[in-house]
Structure 1
Amino acid sequence: MTLYGADLSRIQAEGFGALARAASPELVSILKRSSIAVRRVYDVGCGAGVTTRALVEAGFDVTAVEPSPHLTEIARAHAPGATFVCASAYDVELEACDAVLAIGEVLTYHSLPGPSGEDADARVRSFFETVAGALAAGGRFVFDVIDVDGPPLDARGWRSEPLWTVLWETREDRAARRLVRCVDTFVREDDGRYRRAGESHHVRLFRERDLRSWLEAVGFDVETARAYGGVALGPRRVAFVATRR
């Protein structure tokens, strides 16, 4: 499955960074309020690098992880002070650190069945173990997901700018705990014609109580919220702030 090719990466960077920009000050504050001095931070699934840049500007030593090579290059230009790794959350080797962030439904995208057939929940539990092993006591693990419970998320939408248009449709299979987002992009070329590309994103849904249980089992104290500070998340999104015991 291809996620975030060249055209969608450009559109994501140019048109859909508002939430990350608004939430970044609170994310920095969460790390600075830790019981330990936070220095080394992983920004997993960094996207176009909005949060990465805020972390670098706050003085952290940041390693940003992103599976899309196109988004990686955009993020590298946006936050040149970070170190970048083009890899999935499940392929990267986390070294000793003080905080791990996975902001913007990262784990929902990175939790499809693995190459050896392990199921999505097992991959997430394994990632939690990896994070727990890398974090110092008192370190923070901050992420958000889509909860399986709540009003339906089936929807269609679009956005148009002078040089591009994007259309999307979201279909939910609640029994399978999955969303499918079908995305079509139209990017204007120099001759005035439009180049079309399409992607299908399979997004895993989670139960808040399950994630809390898995985190506690590997040594975290867990708090949840529906916002990062004063920045509300979208419908059915849940933010987790987990502190390593």
Structure 2
Amino acid sequence: MSYYTREFSAFFDAYYTGWVRGFSPRLAAFLRQSAPATRSVLDLCCGTGVTAEVLCGEGWTVTGVDRSPGMLGVARCKLGGLIDTSRLRLSEQDARHFSLPRPVDAVVCLDGALNHFLNRADLERCFARVGAVLDEGGQFLFDVFETAHFRHWDNLTLIDEADAVIAKRGVWDADSGTGMLRVSGLLEQEGRLHRVNQTLHSRYFGPDDVGKAVRSAGLVPAEHDIEASYAKCESGSCSRTAMPCRTIYRAVKPSA
């Protein structure tokens, strides 16, 4: 998985969180309806804390786990008040090896974070940890990007705004379902210029990959009535095609 730098994290929070800001309230509504007894939620690969803030607003206790100090730094700056009230805890851990002091009622992982795993073994390690921290009857809701999201990686794209001039260029290998993207440029915040320089690696995981990882963790695939796929996000080529950007999955830990 890629480590996000502090500068890229600030750029990501400003420009690439539109989808998750719109989806997180719908996710919270689904959790309220499907599991009214929910009290604690793990936001895995929580990034800059967009979803964690929404979940805390529902009255739940949230643990945000991310391996990127840059992402967590942005989250702490924005959500320090929630941390002070003990509603939110942020922890720097790898999604393949994390642990929690006690089980949680639900785990969420959004915005294609799982696509940063470069092989199915790592995806299965992550899901095994999810299964270990979920309480019986708890649910796991997550998304993975579809290939439409990555097609623009073969091109040069430019963001030219008042506070950011950012170029993106890379390669997406459709045969292997893997790719690399370089994001570089300048971001202005509070009168200071910050150099953004980040290389991203991602892999496509299809339904078979996801299903095997879910079952290997002792979880059971489950239906949901949240919209299953989305055709647009501001960070991918899916914004210029009708093909789905990502797919939402749900799995449940059986009761003994």
Query: 1:172 maps to which residue?
Result: 172
Tell me by how many angstroms 1:63 deviates.
0.5
1:3–1:22 CA distance, 2 compared to 1 (3 A): same
Tell me by how many angstroms 1:199 deviates.
1.6
* Identity score, percent: 24
Structure 1 residue aligned with 2:109, among 102, 107, 111?
A: 102
Partner deviation per Cα, 1:65-121 (whole Å, 9 max, x = no partner): 122212212112322321000222123213411111110111112x23xxxxxxx21
Aligned counterparts, 1:1-245, within 5 A: 3-35=3-35, 37-80=37-80, 81=82, 82-94=88-100, 95-109=102-116, 111-112=117-118, 120-147=119-146, 152-153=151-152, 154-188=154-188, 196-223=195-222, 228-229=226-227, 232-234=230-232, 235-245=244-254
Q: Is the contact between residue 24 and residue 54 of structure 1 (CA under 8 Å) also seen in structure 2?
A: yes
Paired AA for residue 58 in structure 2: A
Secondary structure of 1:142 counterpart: strand
Tell me by how many angstroms 1:180 deviates.
1.2
1:146–1:58 CA distance, 2 compared to 1 (3 A): same
1:220–1:233 CA distance, 2 compared to 1 (3 A): farther
Tell me by how many angstroms 1:25 deviates.
1.0
Tell me by how many angstroms 1:31 deviates.
1.6
Partner deviation per Cα, 1:24-59 (whole Å, 9 max, x = no partner): 111102221234611111111111111110010011
Q: Is the contact between residue 6 and residue 73 of structure 2 (CA under 8 Å) also seen in structure 1?
A: no
Q: Which runs of 5+ in 1 are unaligned?
A: 113-119
1:217–1:88 CA distance, 2 compared to 1 (3 A): closer
Query: 1:115 maps to which residue?
Result: none
Structure in which a larger fraction of residues adopt helix = 2
Tell me by how many angstroms 1:134 deviates.
1.6
Q: Which runs of 5+ in 2 are unaligned?
A: 83-87, 233-243
Structure 2-normalised TM-score? 0.80
RMSD across aligned positions (CA): 2.9
Q: Is the contact between residue 147 and residue 208 of structure 1 (CA under 8 Å) also seen in structure 2?
A: no
1:160–1:223 CA distance, 2 compared to 1 (3 A): farther
Could you tell me how far apart the structure 2 residues matched to 1:241 and 1:189 are?
38
Could you tell me how far apart the structure 2 residues matched to 1:217 and 1:224 are?
18
Secondary structure of 1:24 counterpart: helix
1:67–1:208 CA distance, 2 compared to 1 (3 A): same
Could you tell me how far apart the structure 2 residues matched to 1:36 and 1:219 are?
23
Paired AA for residue 24 in structure 1: S
Secondary structure of 1:33 counterpart: helix
Structure 1-normalised TM-score? 0.83
Partner deviation per Cα, 1:123-142 (whole Å, 9 max, x = no partner): 11122122112212221111
1:244–1:149 CA distance, 2 compared to 1 (3 A): farther
Could you tell me how far apart the structure 1 residues matched to 2:15 and 2:215 are?
37
Could you tell me how far apart the structure 1 residues matched to 2:185 and 2:160 are?
10
